[in-house]
Amino acid sequence: MTHTILEIILCSLLFLSIYQLALAKSSLHRFKRYYLIFALCLTVIVPFITIKLPTTITPAYIKTKTYTKPIVNKIDRFTSKQTNDFVKPSQNQELSIDKEKLEAKTTTNSQAIPQGTFAIYILVSVVLLGRLGLNTFRLLRLAKKNPSIRHNDTRVILLPELTTPFSFFNSIYIYSRDFDQKENHSEILTHELAHVKQRHSIDVMITELFKAILWFNPFYYWFSKAIRQNHEYLADNEVIRKHKSISKYQKLLFEFVKRNQTSTFSMVSPFNYSFTQKRFIMMTKKNSRSSTIFKTVFTLLAICLVGMSFTLKPTNNQKLQDTEQDKNQVEIIYGKSVKPQISPVKLEEEGTKMILPFGATVGYGTPDMHDHEGVDFRAKRGTPVYATAAGLVVIASSNNERYGNFIRIKHNDTYESVYASLEALNVSKGETVSLGQMIGTVGNSIPESNIHLHYEVIKNGAQIDPDEYFFFTRDTEVVLSHSKITAEVNSYLLRTEFDMDKRETRLLMFSKESKYGKIIYDQNKILFVDHYEEVSKEMKMSDLSTTQLNALKGLKNGSFSLYTKRPSRDVTENWTNAEEFMVVIDGKITPNKELAIYTANDFSYFVKTKLRVNDPQKPKYRVDLYTNKVFDQLAEVKKKDNAELVSANNKLIEIIDP
């Protein structure tokens, strides 16, 4: 609504500018009258008209290096911070998205008028309309209580008070002594009869209604003034055409100006010296034929240009193969395009947060080291878990080696979701579930795990980032407060807040030479944060083109950075016990006794994991160690990968904010 109001005001300004530039000083009074009324009406019509023009957008995708690996048989846990909003679903919803939620997503760019502001608008409009009605009533009462005569099918009201003549619809109001003066009688009546015959009161009432209902537009007062001035030019022309004597008529007008009588009626054109001077100039002004044609054509073309600038809207005909690239458009037909769209747990509850994002390096230092294929949420035992979209339960299994107690829901031929490490299963295989239905509770049924929920979204058989399907919004100030992390980390999407422990420090997504230090965005807006943690620019998500949106989604954070973790001398001596420990050095199983040829300073990193074995004859623990040389090689590879990532991100920034 705010956008529409601004368009009305801007449209009014442009149409008035055209009038002042081409017509205000011309003698094309009849054309000027039609233009002003037509333009006035267009100001409230044009902003509501949309003519869509087809356009084709050629995406300029920049391919960044991805870090996806095959599904592995182990899920590790790290800790990191996350805050988010949970979209509460409808309990009665079956296989479609809640109507109110869909409307909220598809109208994020609308700006509703606050109730208090709307109440003020109504109050002012009522007062102004009341004043207009009161003035109309007073004119009608004035006509009723004073004597009148008929003149050329027009009622002439004879007033006892000294006043300037004026007309209102089919009535002329005139001071009785002015009417009795026969030498001036004719010119005065001709002037006012011109107002009556040309129905100028209709124009005046239209402008008064605009001023009363759309009083917030200051340019309507200029429209009203221009229309009334033009009425006087038209009436003056009629007097000169009929009576021929310009000097006599000008002298008569000057006498009325000297009376300095101001009408109490807002609908009556006033007499004043400056405007009377303009009238005198217009009485003798003539336009050449070429000037008339030029001004008429110019005005018509200008009207067309203004109209097109407001009504023609480009539309994108590009058909995206991946529906994830659409701007929050969600199909609601089950079996066609249903996809996950809410968080599986209520993240606003105390103690509930995301602790491990998609793509994070897990199982570091072990043969199972891989990128995380889902997201993990920390929550209290027994916390409800909700279906993130409608679908069919295809698996409801207990004691799975990889997932523990878990549920797999098929939403359609494209999307599936997995909920693992559950304590209780509230649904069975073959059941149909609705969006937001409680399907289980959080537990730690994955072997050797803490209490958490592991959640995956699967598209066409491959795990994808579930965070792409959370919808949440925060105010700018809150967004900033949730991203106040050290300059070593760039949070490109407001979904994960990292603990500043070295183990959770990510590699830089931007460099010090990058245009921005951080880009943070949610469903509604994007914040461009400089290298000093200050917001330097904001953009609405609704203003992004498809190319910009794809570039934004293409931004990547680096994987977790390497850090040095050296074992102590006492610890390495304990690992020589082959009954307790299996030793792996630089990825190769090594006899425990060979540890004797190393010192603790020969290793840059180690990790100890408990083995899942029931045989008491086998070691209980596995120790992975990396020598300084191999660790440095791994660090160089990661540094190179990160440099490529920074370069790709900088190119994407230029697309998002050219």
Q: Does residue 84 register a pLDDT over 60?
A: no
Q: 134 with 272, same domain?
A: yes
Q: What is the pLDDT of residues 565-583, one digit of tens each?
A: 778 776 677 888 888 889 9
Q: 118 with 103, same domain?
A: no
Q: How far apart are CA 165 and CA 192, in angstroms?
A: 8
Average per-residue pLDDT for the chain = 76
Torsion sign across C-alpha atoms 467, 468, 474, 478: positive
What DSSP assignment string belongs to 403-426? Answer: TEEEEEEE-SSSEEEEEEEEEEE-
Q: Does residue 62 register a pLDDT over 70?
A: no
Q: Does residue 494 register a pLDDT over 50?
A: no
Give the pLDDT of residue 154: 92
Q: Is 183 a member of any domain?
A: yes
Give the pLDDT of residue 295: 93
Closest CA to 19 of 3, 2, 1, 40: 40
- Final residue of a structural domain among 256, 286, 316: 286
Q: Is 656 a member of any domain?
A: no
- Final residue of a structural domain among 445, 469, 493: 469
Task: Output the 3-class SS for 353-375.
Answer: EEEECCCCEECCCCCCCEECCCE
Enclosing H/E stretch for 252: helix 246-259
Task: Output the 3-class SS for 469-490.
Answer: HCCCCCCHHHHHHCCCCCCCCC
- Tokens representing 406? 């878990």
Q: 613 pLDDT band (50/70/90 cuts)?
A: low
Q: How far apart are CA 412 and CA 483, in angstroms?
A: 36
Q: 503 pLDDT band (50/70/90 cuts)?
A: very low
Out of 134-148, 496-510, 640-654, the most confident range is: 134-148
Q: How far apart are CA 96 and CA 582, in angstroms?
A: 53
Q: 587 pLDDT band (50/70/90 cuts)?
A: confident
Q: 113 pLDDT band (50/70/90 cuts)?
A: low
Q: How far apart are CA 261 and CA 163, in angstroms?
A: 6
Closest CA to 280 of 251, 309, 319: 251
Q: Which domain holds residue 276?
A: 114-286
Give the pLDDT of residue 210: 95
Mean pLDDT confidence for 592-607: 86
Give the pLDDT of residue 264: 53
Q: 480 pLDDT band (50/70/90 cuts)?
A: very low
Adjacent-strand bridge partners of 539 = 526
Q: How far apart are CA 450 and CA 556, in angstroms?
A: 28
- CATH number, domain with residue 365: 2.70.70.10
Q: 111 pLDDT band (50/70/90 cuts)?
A: very low
Q: 211 pLDDT band (50/70/90 cuts)?
A: very high
Q: Is 441 a member of any domain?
A: yes
Whole-angstrom CA distances from 304 to 92, 436, 512 are 51, 51, 49
Helix %, strand %, coil % for the chain, to 5? 40, 20, 40
Give the pLDDT of residue 486: 31
Q: Does residue 364 register a pLDDT over 70?
A: no
- Tokens representing 209? 């209604």
Give the pLDDT of residue 479: 40
Q: What's the pTM?
A: 0.44
Q: How far apart are CA 325 and CA 550, in angstroms?
A: 7
Q: 268 with 347, same domain?
A: no
Q: What is the pLDDT of residues 530-546, one digit of tens each?
A: 766 677 888 887 888 88
- Give me the residue label for tokens 């008064």: 208
Q: What is the pLDDT of residues 421-449, one digit of tens each?
A: 999 999 999 999 998 899 999 999 887 77
Q: 103 with 149, same domain?
A: no
Enclosing H/E stretch for 51: strand 51-55
Q: 104 with 183, same domain?
A: no
Least confident of 82-96, 116-130, 352-366, 609-623: 82-96
Give the pLDDT of residue 45: 93
Task: Pick the more confident residue, 371 or 418.
Answer: 418
Q: Is 609 a member of any domain?
A: no
| Chain centroid, CA 70 distance in Å | 37
Q: How far apart are CA 49 and CA 99, in angstroms?
A: 26
Q: Is 189 a member of any domain?
A: yes
- Tokens representing 488? 């070593």
Give the pLDDT of residue 562: 61
What is the number of structural domains in the chain?
A: 2
Q: 559 pLDDT band (50/70/90 cuts)?
A: low
Q: Does residue 122 register a pLDDT over 70?
A: yes
Q: Does residue 330 register a pLDDT over 50?
A: no
Closest CA to 516 of 496, 492, 539: 492
Least confident of 286-290, 363-367, 582-586: 363-367
Residue 546 in 3-state DSSP? helix
Q: How far apart are CA 151 and CA 504, in angstroms?
A: 94
Give the pLDDT of residue 510: 60
- Final residue of a structural domain among 236, 259, 286: 286
Q: 374 with 250, same domain?
A: no
Least confident of 32-41, 325-334, 468-477: 325-334
Q: How far apart are CA 655 and CA 555, in angstroms?
A: 11
Q: Is 453 a member of any domain?
A: yes
Q: How far apart are CA 141 and CA 173, in angstroms?
A: 12
Q: 232 with 347, same domain?
A: no
Closest CA to 244 of 186, 313, 167, 170: 186
Q: 279 with 145, same domain?
A: yes
Q: What is the DSSP letter of 211?
A: H
Q: How far apart are CA 386 and CA 470, in angstroms?
A: 13
Judge contact between 47 and 4, C-beta under 8 A.
yes
Give the pLDDT of residue 217: 94
Mean pLDDT confidence for 73-93: 33
Residue 197 in 3-state DSSP? helix
Task: Pick the more confident residue, 268 or 141.
Answer: 141
Give the pLDDT of residue 640: 79
**To the nearest whole percent, how much of the chain has pLDDT over 90?**
33
**To the nearest whole percent, how much of the chain has pLDDT over 70?**
72
Task: Output the 3-class SS for 309-324.
Answer: HHHEEEEECCCCCCHH
Q: Does residue 365 register a pLDDT over 60?
A: no
Enumerate residues 6+ apart whose C-beta is below 8 A from 306: 11, 14, 15, 18, 46
Q: 148 with 253, same domain?
A: yes
Closest CA to 495 of 477, 530, 476, 470: 470
Q: Is 262 a member of any domain?
A: yes
Q: 276 pLDDT band (50/70/90 cuts)?
A: confident
Q: 469 pLDDT band (50/70/90 cuts)?
A: low
Q: Does residue 2 register a pLDDT over 70?
A: yes
Residue 350 in 3-state DSSP? coil
Q: 552 pLDDT band (50/70/90 cuts)?
A: confident
Out of 25-39, 77-91, 163-177, 435-449, the most confident range is: 25-39
Q: 156 with 216, same domain?
A: yes
Give the pLDDT of residue 34: 95
Largest CA distance in the chain: 133
Q: 138 with 267, same domain?
A: yes
Q: 130 with 191, same domain?
A: yes
Q: Is 383 a member of any domain?
A: yes
